[in-house]
A and B are shown apart, each in its own frame.
Chain A
């Protein structure tokens, strides 16, 4: 089937108007998200998960497996895989945290030596009492021994996260199994004049979101594997965790690759490995270049065109609202909203409503 233009290509339009739309979207989104962040999180994560896994569901559907059964199978597999990964990674994580804490004194001393010049500058700029408080706090945190779950309170602190995960999975299940019916029921309420436009708009936005999410997931996995492998070869400790962190951070454009590389270089700087820090930096830079020129164009491609200021603002806002999860969700959400606004503008013109 020949199509005159790619569905992923951004629609044409007036750039100034689009920027105004984006600003407006940021303000409205800000208000909506700040008002109902806790309620929205599972819905957003569930929706994104459903978009991510819909090709698997469709493949099962194609093979004659009922949609509900297929969806249940996929989600049970995800939960099972996560469980196995957690069971395998938790003791390893505890051991590595213990190891890190037992070496923390030495790392801190090394860091003090390395950063002596910076500390002198800080002492001149920051009042001595506040600097001492910060130093004491940092040493206390690093010296804390034992498992991360020292008390019942620590376990209770994890419950909201578990609640979000479970709710997100329920939403994803519902959308994967019955999303088409929900969409159809929603569309049935749209007046005839706007029906075709709404249908087209939803379809195109969904295509853009799906392309971005799947591409980004593949890009993050590829980066995570590459960084873990490279750090292992370079004999950097905690390579698996640093690789996972870098892979995850890679989902945040512009800031992610930098944030993902810092811990490994910092470990080299404090003497956790005999490998020189500059070698690690060069290796991470090479991976980043490989990602920029080869992996990213092949996976994510041009499915999301966001100006840098929008990304930085969005990530800062996401971090303020929802911590790491907020930072990770910010960019796809802004991309989704941007795609929606651009398509809406294009459709309103195409359907002669504007």
Chain B
């Protein structure tokens, strides 16, 4: 029988192997279209972080410098409001990406991210993007294009929601 310590260690080593990470990254919708050779380079730049349930990944209002990809676990995106208090905006699952706006504008985080369960996240930050731009400009261009698409989709979704709210308000006679 194998000791649990060794099983855990071997599992961690296996999950850390670049090839396995590249295989996993290949399935992430956000990284669609990125060449496997470039994915290998991105995999080298990613930072693996483990979080406990309830642990905060980042807080609303803090400086942001990068994005996270969820490998395992669930992450709650929460907006803190003085009037309404804590408002849950979404619960993200493995394969989802969050915090990507900060990768572009380095501004304050617009919402907080809190791990709902034990989670493993891969972080990609401004320094990594700079490095990618210098060494693999094609991969960086593809990544930025995907980032733009993701933000465009989100903006479209927000506009639709705003439109619905405005229509709802008009119907209610406000």
Contacts known (A4-B106, A192-B55); A203 close to B137, Cβ less than 8 A: no
B62 close to A203 (CB less than 8 A) = no
CA A202 to CA B131, docked complex, whole Å: 13
Main SS class of interface, B: mixed
A196 close to B55 (CB less than 8 A) = no
A1 interface contact, C-beta 8 A: yes
Category for how many chain B residues contact A: 20 to 34
Rounded to whole Å, the gap between the CB of A321 and the closest CB of chain B is 32
B63 close to A203 (CB less than 8 A) = no
Main SS class of interface, A: helix
CA A193 to CA B130, docked complex, whole Å: 23
- A1-36 interface (Cβ within 8 A of B): 1-4
Number of interface residues of A (CB under 8 A): 26
In the complex, chain A residues whose CB is within 8 Å of the CB of B122: none
Rounded to whole Å, the gap between the CB of A175 and the closest CB of chain B is 15
A94 interface contact, C-beta 8 A: no
A267 interface contact, C-beta 8 A: no
Contacts known (A4-B105, A196-B125); A61 close to B47, Cβ less than 8 A: no
B49 close to A202 (CB less than 8 A) = no
Most buried by A among B44, B57, B104, B125: B125
Q: Interface on B for A, CB 8 Å cutoff? A: 44, 47-49, 51, 55-59, 61-66, 104-108, 123, 125-127, 130-131, 134-137, 144
Closest 4 pairs (CB-CB, A-B): A350-B63, A203-B127, A200-B65, A61-B135
Q: Interface on A for B, CB 8 Å cutoff? A: 1-4, 55, 58, 61-62, 180, 184, 187-188, 192-193, 195-197, 199-200, 202-203, 206, 347, 350-352
16 residue pairs of the A-B complex, CB under 8 angstroms, read A1-B104, A2-B105, A58-B131, A61-B135, A62-B134, A192-B57, A195-B49, A195-B123, A196-B58, A196-B65, A196-B66, A196-B123, A199-B65, A199-B66, A199-B127, A347-B63
